Amino acid sequence: MENQNLKTYPINELPHYKVHGRTVPGASPLPLFFNGSAIEVNVSGTELWIELTVDYAVFEPWITCEINGELISRQMLLPGHYTLCLFRGMSPEPVKNVKVTRELQAMSEDPSCCILVNGMKADGAFSPVPPKKYALEFVGDSITSGEGTYGAREDMDWIPMYMSYSRGYARTVADTLDADAYMISQGGWGVLCGWDNNPRSNIPSRYEKLCGLSCGEANEKAGAFAPYDFTGRSIDAVIVNLGTNDASAFDQPAWHDPATGETFCQRRNADGSYNEEDLARFQRAVVDFLKMLRRDNPQAHIVWCYGMLGYDLSLPIADAVNQYRSETADRDVMFLQLPATTDETFGSRCHPGEPSHTRAARLLIEYLRGCLH
């Protein structure tokens, strides 16, 4: 039976709500660009619905719904404009904390992929969502996108249902430290180039856009390509986890753009060691990105993590971090090696599974507790 007491609230008329992740302040409709992007409300009443506009061509977005901090549902979204029931039949008086989160990374491979929140329907009252103690930004590749955190170990398809924010290390770190999480990650990308030597697949080139990893008309209209206003937030720590795909590039053939004739390749020497010039080029990219991160986040502690899928570039990255510290006299930047994924802790797609993310999160939590004030 239809609830006659439901009231519709367009997003710009919703009395109280909190947005997680990079977004356009006051946007209506509200885009959820990144994994970890979310809308959170505190609401009384018996029933709550969310009104969405969703699109994709190839890769369907997934979301989670949590009520009072517990996962209630995880589901793929179909294209179209519709409402989803988040809860019904609950006791009317208690205030419920409800959080709807995008699981899937921004999909540079699918220009149509987008989630827009148009509003909510409820028969209760909305109240403010208290602020968190800290704000953290996580920057990375498929590991930070949570690829492999769902699915069986033998599952190898590159599809959205195996990617998640809900089981990733970033989520655990943020929740444990009472922090908001800002995410920017893309599977296959690096700090200099992607796993296949594509020099355009590098996170620094997109970092200063609101969501430079998205593409397509709908995302552009939602503001994804606009310069990001870093003054609108205050980040306590930036956690970078890049280098895994840069290491893979040294073992791949040269990338070639047939349209322009451009080629790019990170090379090994005949004895298997890294070509000195190419390794230096990678280290320069690390230093330059650290300078960008400091410019955009002047008050943040910065930690560069690496190691969940191999230690090949541990020493070069650590040396690059030290080089940055020498060039800038910035002592609030460190390198942290994360625990390797073992045979017991792999997930799907030969990526770290949830147990591996949990191990990495524990180390990061211990580390950050000594840095945050």
C-alpha to C-alpha distance for 167 and 35, rounded to whole angstroms = 11
Are the beta carbons of 237 and 303 closer than 8 angstroms? yes
CATH topology assigned to domain 7-127:
Jelly Rolls (2.60.120)
pLDDT of residue 24: 84
pLDDT of residue 267: 98
At 274, list the tokens. 């890294």
Are the beta carbons of 91 and 46 closer than 8 angstroms? yes
Among 114, 131, 116, 103, smallest CA distance to 16 is for: 131
| Alpha carbon 46 to its chain's center | 32
Burial 20-39 (b: 16+ CB within 10 A, else e): bbbbbeeeebbbbbbbbbbb
| DSSP line for 57-70 | SS---EEEEEETTE
Enter the DSSP assignment of 300: -
Helix (H, G, I), strand (E, B) or coil at 107: coil
C-alpha to C-alpha distance for 11 and 115, rounded to whole angstroms = 14
Length of the chain: 373
Among 65, 91, 92, 95, smallest CA distance to 77 is for: 65
Domain ranges for the chain, please list them: 7-127, 134-369
C-alpha to C-alpha distance for 178 and 347, rounded to whole angstroms = 27
pLDDT of residue 194: 98
pLDDT of residue 132: 97
Enter the DSSP assignment of 46: S
Dihedral-angle region of residue 146 (phi above 0 means left; psi in -120 to 50 means alpha; beta otherwise)? left
Task: Tell me, yes or no, if the two domains 7-127 and 134-369 fold the same way.
Answer: no
Are the beta carbons of 283 and 316 closer than 8 angstroms? yes
Tell me which architecture the domain covering 134-369 has in CATH: 3-Layer(aba) Sandwich (3.40)
pLDDT < 70 positions in the chain? none
The values of phi and psi at residue 49, to 5°, are -125, 155
Which residues lie closer than 8 Å to 329 by C-beta, 6 or more apart?
A: none
* pTM of the shown model: 0.97
Among 44, 22, 235, 211, smallest CA distance to 132 is for: 235
pLDDT of residue 265: 98
Strands 263-264 and 255-256: antiparallel
